[in-house]
Homo-oligomer: A and B are copies of this chain.
Amino acid sequence: MANSLDNPPPHQVVIIGGGFGGLYAAKTLAKAAVNVTLIDQRNFHLFQPLLYQVATGTLSPADISSPLRAVLNKSQNTKVLLGKANDIDPVAQKVFVGDEEIPYDTLIVATGAKHSYFGKDNWEEFAPGLKTVEDAIEMRRRIFTAFEAAEKETDALKRQAWLTFVIVGGGPTGVELAGAIAELAYQTLKADFRNINTSEAKIILLEGMDRILPPFVPELSQSAAASLEKLGVIVQTKALVTDIQNNIVTIKQEDGIKEIASKTILWAAGVKASPMGQVLAARTNVELDRAGRVIVESDLSIHGYPDIFVIGDLANFSHQNGKPLPGVAPVAKQQGQYVATLIKQRLQGNILPFFSYADRGSLAMIGQNFAVVDFGFIRLTGFLAWLFWLVIHIYFLIEFDNKLVVIIQWAWNYFTRNRGARLITGIDGNSNYYSPDTNQQAVKA
């Protein structure tokens, strides 16, 4: 016993979630005198900003995924635990994962967000969102199956519904999806079909606000809309989606109500916090915002629980300018690094100033050779912005896993305008491969 008092067990840090927030927290703690347990349901970190390229057949899931164990295998103080954290006990300082109890001295909750249908959960079946690898494969299946079904359809109206793609939400994901589908229809797939002319496809991007890409300055939004339209995308702003039924989107615009017949409706409109927010609220009485995010203190801890931190998309941090920080990768990453540094400083009896987000700018890809970039001090559109987008994404992709293969894949696609990853995969509820005759709203596989 004397021995264990002389050498107290190291401080236990438990991190729930291996997204940008959790992973950067773990990496920043790699050489600290603490033990780290990173809990995730999946065995890989997902580079979500490129998920739309999986959904549209440019990249494979593995190209944008890094096995968590491989990323952290040199951190001798770090254990990866594959499982789902169901509950926490903030008094006994434990996390419950299945039947296991994981004790912690400090807890970092970084479980992120999922799609939100603003209370209309029945829309999900008809308009899937894009958060996971499985979501991307499902979107890819729907997009490429739509062209196949159009090729087989003899009725002109139905064929047009198969060739109409509606993307709900004009944020970066919606814009990137719309641009990529337009390039598919008007370029990549042009020579592939015999009965249909893929150039007759309609790609409609719906945004409720008065402009797309609302986080950007109005000039960049206009420039993005103009280049989307040049690619062939129909951009409709001030278009509120009031209903989504099987194959029909109902929108309300200034000039009235309109219905759009489309077999492929994709959701890029809203997110809500993951259910761990509810668990935290129940166990600690912490306040949640309307989106279910946890209102955090200025050091990212929970009110009354200085040993529990919430970071990334699950956190509502409003101490910087009164507005919550956006749910983007750089915020999560900086918060993960901040909390890890704070833990290290605390163990040495020091304190850290409050968290402060260094906004290095926003960027969105529109299509080949065109992106928009806003660094604050400089704004770019067009080819130069596109190059910036590439360089920045390659830089972040290779930061913890050398995804050389992505660069080659992009270069290859750029020069050939081909997309090799346009597979329709999966097995439906009746153990059959998906086919053009499968309903688009089939059970996910």
Q: For the complex, is A229 an interface residue (Cβ under 8 Å from B)? A: no
A5-13, A60-68, A353-361: which lies at the interface: A60-68
- Cα A42 to Cα B141 in complex, Å, equals 11
Residues of chain A from 53 to 107 with CB closer than 8 A to chain B in the complex:
60-63, 65-67, 69-70, 73-74, 79-84, 98, 100
In the complex, which of the residues B62, B98, B194 contacts A60, with contact meaning CB atoms closer than 8 Å? B62
Contacts of A63 in B (CB 8 A): 60, 420
> Which of B41, B412, B444 is A404 in contact with, Cβ under 8 Å?
B412
Q: Which of B41, B43, B79, B426 contacts A144 (CB 8 A)?
A: B43
Contact with B along A416-441 (1 / 0, CB 8 A): 10101111111100001101110000
Number of A residues near B (Cβ < 8 Å) is 60
Q: Are A405 and B412 in contact (CB under 8 A)?
A: yes
A401 within 8 A of B: yes
Against B, the Cβ 8 Å flags (1 = close, 0 = not) of A214-247 are 0000000000000000000000000000000000
Residue of B nearest to A69 (CB): B192
Neighbour of A74 across the interface among B98, B191, B194, CB < 8 A = B191
Option from B61, B98, B427 in Cβ contact (under 8 Å) with A425: B61
Residue A253 lies at the interface, judged by CB distance under 8 Å to chain B: no
- Inter-chain CA distance A435–B194, complex, in Å, is 44
Q: Which residue from B98, B408, B435 sits with its C-beta under 8 Å from A82?
A: B435
* Minimum CB–CB distance for A290 against chain B, Å: 26
Q: A192 touches which one: B70, B401, B427 (CB < 8 A)?
A: B70
> What residue of chain B has the Cβ atom nearest to residue A63's Cβ?
B60
Q: Do residues A420 and B403 form an inter-chain contact, with CB atoms below 8 A?
A: yes
Q: Which residues of B contact A79 (CB under 8 A)?
A: 194
Residues on B with C-beta less than 8 A from A435 are 41, 82-84, 98
**In the complex the two chains form, is A402's CB within 8 Å of B416's CB?**
yes
Which residues does chain B contribute within 8 Å of A152, judged by CB atoms? 81-83, 100
| CB-CB contacts below 8 Å: A391-412 with B | 401-405, 408-409, 412
Interface residues as binary, A138-154 with B (CB distance below 8 Å gives 1, 0 otherwise): 00000010001001100
Cβ–Cβ contact B425 & A134, under 8 A? yes
Residue A388 CB within 8 A of the other chain: no
**Neighbouring B residues of A151 by C-beta, 8 Å:** 82
A62 to B, closest residue via Cβ: B421
Q: In this complex, what residue of B is CB-closest to A194? A: B79
A134 to B426, CA, bound (A): 6
Closest to A437 in B: B98
CB pair A82 B148 closer than 8 Å = yes
Q: Is the CB of B134 within 8 A of A427?
A: yes
A193 at the interface (CB under 8 A from B): yes
The one of B70, B134, B421 in contact with A418, judged by C-beta atoms closer than 8 angstroms, is B70
A84 to B405, CA, bound (A): 34
Contacts of A437 in B (CB 8 A): 83, 98
The 9 closest A-B pairs by CB, nearest first: A60-B60, A62-B421, A69-B192, A73-B191, A60-B62, A82-B148, A79-B194, A408-B408, A73-B192
Give the interface of A toward B (CB within 8 A): 41-44, 60-63, 65-67, 69-70, 73-74, 79-84, 98, 100, 133-134, 137, 144, 148, 151-152, 189, 191-194, 401-405, 408-409, 412, 416, 418, 420-427, 432-433, 435-437, 444-445
